[in-house]
Amino acid sequence: MLVSFPRQKREISNFDYLMYLNTLAGRSYNDYMQYPVFPWVLADYHSETLNLTNPHTFRDLSKPMGAQTVERKHKFIQRYKEVEKNLSAQCHYCTHYSSAIIVASYLVRMEPFTQTFCSLQGGSFDVADRMFHSVKSTWESASKDNMSDVRELIPEFFYLPEFLTNANHFELGCMQDGTVLGDVQLPPWADGDPHKFILLHRQALESEYVSAHLHCWIDLIFGHKQHGSAAVAAVNTYHPYFYGDKMDLNSIKDPLIKSTILGFISNFGQIPKQV
């Protein structure tokens, strides 16, 4: 059972509470495959100023990233139904909200994550248009535009401005529109300042709105809506291989199948342990 009283009483911050839950669920900075997962908390990456008293400023924390818009939600529900008819692995999402490549892509401008990212990519950077280069475009991809993208965030978005700058001057490539990748493009309300972005983003995480709704996201990631009928109803089911702690790998005798499953988990992510 989740112990939420300290957070409700404002005895600890939302950030500290999320780190506590991640630790309980087996997530660690030492494991890219089970790195701490944090939520997108904002939906406004276009305004000149950030209004933390307006509910529309925030992401809907009661819904997973695949259900942030009605149209997108219906598409994933339809996928779930079609998979059921085809008798394949039944799920809403075949990609995960947290994986080694997602973590490394966010932190690619900092070592040792640069080398980790290149290693995962086969020795080089990815195509520039697919690299993490803009907070706004990444939000739009994960919340509405890309059916293969349901990524959430990592803790660094709330305390580490350095990961947003290309201080090492890595040659990250050039996008199709001619944009040369360098520092991460920030929302207008950050005024191009990574420190201001982190400050306001952390204020958003600790805001009254997020404090009142954070438990909904926790239910999806760590709680009772993580799997089973509650997850189906919440449009929150993932490929069976992502639920590593619920699979009895020892009962799988075929070494090729076992290796495939382990490789899938390693490359594409793992659902946190339920707490």
Q: Is the pLDDT of residue 157 over 90?
A: yes
CA distances to 10, 38, 155, 209, 275 from 16, rounded to whole Å, are 11, 11, 10, 17, 16
Residues 42, 205: contact at Cβ < 8 Å? no
Burial class (CB in 10 A: 0-12, 13-18, 19+), 227: middle
Query: How many CB atoms within 10 Å of residue 267?
Result: 13
Where do the domains of the chain lie? 13-266
Q: Can you give the pLDDT at residue 99? A: 93
Tokens at residue 251, please? 């009962």
Mean pLDDT of the chain: 90
Q: Can you give the pLDDT at residue 269? A: 78
Bigger pLDDT: 90 vs 169:
169
Residues 213, 62: contact at Cβ < 8 Å? yes
Q: Is the pLDDT of residue 4 over 80?
A: no
Q: Is the pLDDT of residue 228 over 60?
A: yes
CA-to-CA distance for 12 and 91, rounded, in angstroms? 35
CA-to-CA distance for 98 and 260, rounded, in angstroms? 19
Bigger pLDDT: 188 vs 274:
188
Residues 138, 42: contact at Cβ < 8 Å? no
Please report, rounded to a whole number, the percentage of residues in the chain having pLDDT higher than 70.
88
Q: CATH code for 13-266?
A: 1.10.1540.10
Q: Can you give the pLDDT at residue 80? A: 92
Q: Can you give the pLDDT at residue 86? A: 57
Q: Can you give the pLDDT at residue 246? A: 59
Handedness of CA 162, 116, 246, 264 (dihedral sign): positive
Q: Can you give the pLDDT at residue 88? A: 61
Q: Can you give the pLDDT at residue 268? A: 72
Q: Can you give the pLDDT at residue 87? A: 47
- Cis peptide preceding 112, ω within 30 of 0: yes
Q: Which of 83-97, 116-130, 182-196, 238-252 shows the lowest mean pLDDT across its residues?
A: 238-252
Q: Is the pLDDT of residue 71 over 90?
A: yes
Give the residue-averaged pLDDT of 226-253: 83
Helices (H) and strands (E) in the chain, counts: 10, 0
Q: Can you give the pLDDT at residue 245? A: 61
Regarding pTM above 0.75, the answer is: yes
Q: Can you give the pLDDT at residue 236? A: 97
Q: Can you give the pLDDT at residue 256? A: 77
CA-to-CA distance for 76 and 29, rounded, in angstroms? 31
Q: In which band, very low, low, confident or very high, does the pLDDT at 264 lie, cut at 50, 70 and 90?
A: low
Q: In which band, very low, low, confident or very high, does the pLDDT at 44 lie, cut at 50, 70 and 90?
A: very high
Q: Can you give the pLDDT at residue 254? A: 75
Q: Can you give the pLDDT at residue 5? A: 47
Q: Is the pLDDT of residue 3 over 70?
A: no
Query: How many CB atoms within 10 Å of residue 106?
Result: 22
What dihedral angle (degrees, nearest 10) is formed by the CA atoms of 193, 199, 204, 207? -150
Bigger pLDDT: 256 vs 242:
242
Please report, rounded to a whole number, the percentage of residues in the chain having pLDDT higher than 90.
75
Give the residue-averaged pLDDT of 262-268: 68
